[in-house]
Amino acid sequence: EPHRHMRDLREPLCSRMLGSNTSKPLHRGNGTRSSGCGSVSVGFPITMMVTGMVGNSLALILVYISYRKKENKRKRSFLLCIGSLALTDLFGQLLTSPIVISVYRADLRWERVDPSGYLCPFFGVCMTTFGLCALFMASAMATERATAITNPHWYSNHMKTSVTKQTLALIWGLGLLFALLPVAGVGKYTRQWPGTWCFISVGDSQVSGNMFFSVTFALLGIFSLLVTVSCNVVTIRSLIIRCKSKSGTSQSSKQWERLTTETIIQLLGIMCVLLICWSPLLGLMLRMIYTQISSHECSSAAGHSSSTSDREVQFDCNFFLTAIRLASLNQILDPWVYLLFREILLRKVCFVANAVSNCSIEDRKETQTARDMDLL
């Protein structure tokens, strides 16, 4: 039958993608690449690597120039955070994207790229470390901004660059230590559908400590998102209250109004990007953990996708691939929502927002009052 014949043709390739991860034998034969295996275009990782390198490199250059200026001494803590986030995202792209591209070039056969078997754990450590570090740096910046707005006197007296550097070092250290838990035997990194990347073996309860490791990663990510959103909401509320209290016709009050509108738009953009990029992955991880769906079933369902349950498993596996791509997209968008868009597009957006805002927007030179508040 034509339908059955096409299914037999696409089964071998799909099975080879995760051959070492499968829990039951699959039919072998001569097959060709098919859409039944999901989206396997090499253009996606190449585009992400190039755009990520350009955006984060540009952000690092701008942060370095701003950090060296004497008039930006009060903003150095925030600039350090942005620079560290851009550096984290840049290294995340440089260490993982070339591996994915190499696997695509090897016709999705991971063994050709990693005959020793050490590359998969390395890839998983990078994914976990840079993912968690980026999330917690976003939380640190949101906390720093909320503190600067709600308690400026305490912030001015206690928030030093040395404290910022220690906090960033702690985030990197804890992120790396957590990612290395599978090396110590707690959890496991395995190849994920369609066999071009490695990550936590979500839903695999047979591996020692794997449930603890995967659940902890998801909960840490969700906690970080909640902290970021909560702090940004507090900041927005405080800015609106202060903007109304300073309403008037003086140049200082008009400057407050302009910076308030710009900052609110930027914070809303940051929250939207974080939630869109990370919520699908973290939510799906918890769902796969609860239903115990793992990458083992992904390769099996690819070759036997006739039943309803197999189709549901394959849908989860394909959505997992889309979710990790969205999370990786956050590495590209970070420098833009935190820095570059503000310099290029934000003020144009503010003129549109002026139509529905109580705060008017005028393009005046920054006053010392606004600089003291570290509104970036």
Q: What is the pLDDT of residues 50-73, one digit of tens each?
A: 999 999 999 899 888 888 876 556
Q: Give the alpha-carbon dihedral of 146, 152, 158, 160, to 10 degrees.
A: 70
Mean pLDDT of the chain: 76
Confidence at 296, pLDDT banded by 50, 70, 90 = low
Q: Is 327 exposed, middle or buried (0-12, 13-18, 19+ CB in 10 A)?
A: buried
For residue 330, pLDDT over 70 is answered with yes
Whole-prediction pTM value? 0.78
Please name every residue paired with 200 in a beta bridge, in sequence order, or none if there are none: 189
- 355 CB contacts (<8 Å, ≥6 apart)? none
CB burial string 287-296: b at 16+ within 10 A, e below: bbbeeebbbb
Could you tell me the CA-to-CA distances from 224 to 171, 186, 205, 213, 253 in Å, in that order? 12, 22, 25, 17, 34
The CA dihedral of 101, 189, 217, 127, to the nearest 10 degrees, is -20
Q: Go through the domains of the chain in sequence order and give each one's CATH number.
A: 42-245+255-300+310-340 (1.20.1070.10)
State the pLDDT confidence band at 218, using cuts at 50, 70 and 90. Answer: very high
3-state secondary structure of 176: helix
Helix (H) or strand (E) holding 159: none
State the pLDDT confidence band at 15, using cuts at 50, 70 and 90: very low
- Whole-number Å distance between alpha carbons of 244 and 249: 12
- What local confidence, expressed as pLDDT, does residue 298 receive? 65
Among 196, 21, 207, CA closest to 103: 196
Number of residues in the chain: 376
